[in-house]
Amino acid sequence: MMKPRLIVHGGAWDIPDKFVDDHIKGVHRAVEEIYPLLEDGMSALDAVEKAVNILELDPTFDAGRGAFLNARGDIELDALIMDGKELDFGAVCAVANLMHPVSLARKVMGAKDFRILAGAGAMEFAKTCGFEELDPRELMTERELDFYEKIKNDEQFTPIDAFSGQGPSDTVGAVAMDKDGNLACATSTGGTPRKHPGRIGDSPIIGSGGYADNCLGAASATGYGESLLRVMLCRTACDFLRHEAPMQAADNSICVLKNRGQGYGGIILIDHFGDYGIAHNTPRMAFAYADDNGNINAHIRLEEDVNTRPCKDYKDFCAKIHLLLKDPSFPIENIKTVDFLEAMNAWLISTKGGSSFDFDTDSPESITWEDLTQLIHAASMYE
């Protein structure tokens, strides 16, 4: 029986200080409400759907209530859900007047003849499934109405501006592992601000906005959709898991996004052992997860969460060092300082009776090459 895992995100962009508390509270609430249910036996698939439902209801985020308005002043929503056990999925695109598009995507996954529905056809299916069609105003917030008025005639505004602080970009997502070791992911979004009606981004596209495979891991992404689509970000991250620890896989997938996709975004990831990976190349990304003790950690930047840098224990990091040392083109000085310090913490705790490096008072210079040599030696013994 596996230890349940749940991690959620609330978008990656230059989140202004005035929005930080709402973002942290929002992602914290989703984990706080759903993780105990996972511990009680809820399936991973149910967990990601219900966690995203909570985020869709929260007007802080660009999903469900609070979503962006398109160029016509309407709301169109996209969502994806995927089951890692069966590699089954469901997605909806450009649906209107629904609070929970991810739940409609779940219904699509259970349909006989299709796995992706869009627009009017998706809404017809929603009616047959008993979904309530809302007044569009129930999804609109004063924040987004004001923002739309500000940008609707601004010829200089482009969707990518949303990632530089010009406006919110709060796609939401979740990944989970249940007690049976099954993995699942879900992603939901209102897209980009002032988007062309009918525009579809990465979020509802399998492999880009989300991916789950019990043999590899589960991922949910957020960012500039056209760039994420180019590199199939979530499938790329899961493929990296074949040979890499989750934090390294997340980091490397974001490097691919930046260097090949020429874009900005973030990703959350769980491998099939239940270890977390988180990465983003935007100034901030809201995320939350439950640690091994069930404590909820919610942050707005990866650097604020030393628990996830870079991996669960020193052996995982040793494996990473081992892989790097086998590549003669990799200069050892490129290992991130924070990665090394976290590895040293784990190593010291496991071999020296609990002493550890203090980020606040100790200097990186106090870590010796002898310490590194011992880490590398451990790596050479770990295959």
Residues assigned a catalytic role: 171
Specify whether the CB–CB gap between 98 and 77 falls below 8 A: yes
Inter-axis angle of helices 233-240 and 246-259, nearest 10:
140
Cα-flanking dihedrals φ and ψ of residue 262, to 5°?
Answer: 50, 45
Tokens of 378: 């451990």
| Helices and strands (H and E) in the chain: how many | 11, 12
Distance CA 371, CA 265 (A): 35
Helix (H) or strand (E) holding 177: strand 172-177
φ and ψ at 93, to 5 degrees? -135, 140
- Those residues whose C-beta lies under 8 Å from the C-beta of residue 79, and which sit 6 or more positions away, are 52, 63, 91, 92, 101, 102, 104, 105, 186, 187, 188, 189, 203, 204
Question: What's the token pair of residue 55?
Answer: 């985020």
The encoded tokens of residue 42 equal 């809820």
Q: Of 260, 269, 281, give the one whose Cα is nearest residue 239.
A: 269
Nearest to 324 by CA among 380, 283, 278, 271: 380
Tokens of residue 1, six digits: 């029986």
At residue 277, φ and ψ (nearest 5 deg) are -140, 140
Name the residue among 222, 219, 220, 165 with its Cα closest to residue 191.
222
288 strand-pairing partners: 8, 298
- SS3 of residue 173 by DSSP: strand
Phi, psi dihedral angles at 246 (to 5 degrees): -55, -40
DSSP notation for 33-62: HHHHHHHTT--HHHHHHHHHHHHHH-TTSS
